[in-house]
């Protein structure tokens, strides 16, 4: 029994390690690229590529592969050093950043982000570029290889759709 549990833990560890670069890229894209990406390079730091992180900003390298304790990306994100980077990240995200650095910081392609729309500062209301639930469903169906306007069945005298009568694929977030 104990060996089965151990095996499961090891398999989970392996699966998580494989997913680390993708998870790390997601965290950076959502939290950091607006200030350290193509549009803006605060402190001269580009977090969109591994080279950019190694080169770092005005304070020097932001990333030391294999050394999460001294890498600035992890220290500033965890608020262990000033200037601390925007709050709002969760402990598991800091953990992903640390583990990614600890496993040698593998990244095989640049991190790109897409920002679609805007909310108020509480994330409560849409402030700009609002999308409807039908847009979201149209996009999900598109990613599943289905055209939401063609996926219909005839009922009550009209062609029914999962996206009802509206919905546009959100092209900005589809590669
Ligand atoms: C709202 C804008 C903004 C966001 C978002 C942001 N930063 Fe920063 N970052 C800054 C500014 C401004 C500085 C420079 C501050 C200073 O010099 O006092 C900086 C500096 C840094 C530095 C030090 C660079 C150097 O050498 O001076 C690191 C590392 C860093 N940020 C990492 C991150 C990480 C990781 C994230 C995402 C978790 C992030 N930042 C998100 C604005 C931002």
CATH number reported for the structural domain that contains residue 58 in this entry: 1.10.760
147 within domain boundaries: yes
Query: 34 CB under 6 A from ligand 1?
Result: yes
Q: How many domains would you assign to the chain?
A: 2
140 within domain boundaries: yes
160 within domain boundaries: yes
End-to-end CA distance of the chain: 45
Q: Give the model confidence (pLDDT) of 143-165 as tens digits.
A: 899 999 999 999 999 999 999 99
Query: 31 CB under 6 A from ligand 1?
Result: yes
| Domain co-membership, 25 together with 103 | yes
Q: Give the model confidence (pLDDT) of 65-81 as tens digits.
A: 999 999 999 999 999 99
Q: What is the pLDDT along the chain (175 residues), one digit of tens a residue?
A: 667 666 666 666 665 566 899 889 988 988 898 899 988 899 999 999 999 999 999 999 999 999 999 999 999 999 999 999 887 678 888 999 999 999 999 998 888 876 677 778 888 888 888 889 999 999 999 989 999 999 999 999 999 999 999 999 987 776 5
pTM: 0.68
In whole angstroms, give the CA distance from residue 156 to residue 143.
29
For ligand 1, the distance from its centroid to the CA atom of residue 168, given in whole angstroms, is 35
Query: 169 CB under 6 A from ligand 1?
Result: no
**Residues 6 or more apart whose Cβ sits within 8 Å of residue 96:** 20, 23, 24, 27
In whole angstroms, give the CA distance from residue 128 to residue 169.
18
154 within domain boundaries: yes
Query: 75 CB under 6 A from ligand 1?
Result: no
| Domain co-membership, 98 together with 57 | yes
In whole angstroms, give the CA distance from residue 130 to residue 118.
8
| Domain co-membership, 45 together with 98 | yes
118 within domain boundaries: no
Tokens encoding 98: 């640390």
Domain span holding position 135: 127-173
């Amino acid at each position: 029994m104990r060996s089965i549990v151990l095996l499961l833990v090891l398999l989970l560890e392996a699966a998580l390690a494989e997913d680390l670069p993708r998870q790390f890229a997601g965290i950076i894209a959502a939290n950091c690229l607006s200030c350290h990406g193509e549009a803006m390079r605060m402190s001269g730091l580009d977090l969109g590529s591994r080279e950019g992180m190694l080169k770092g900003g005005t304070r020097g390298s932001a990333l030391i592969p294999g050394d999460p304790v001294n890498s600035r990306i992890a220290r500033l994100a965890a608020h262990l050093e000033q200037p601390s980077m925007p709050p709002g990240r969760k402990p598991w995200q800091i953990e992903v950043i640390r583990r990614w650095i600890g496993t040698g910081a593998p990244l095989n392609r640049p991190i790109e982000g897409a920002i679609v729309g805007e909310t108020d500062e509480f994330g409560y209301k849409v402030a700009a570029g609002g999308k409807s639930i039908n847009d979201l469903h149209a996009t999900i169906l598109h990613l599943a290889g289905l055209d939401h306007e063609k996926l219909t069945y005839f009922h009550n005298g009209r062609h029914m759709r999962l996206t009802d009568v509206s919905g546009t694929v959100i092209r900005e977030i589809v590669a």
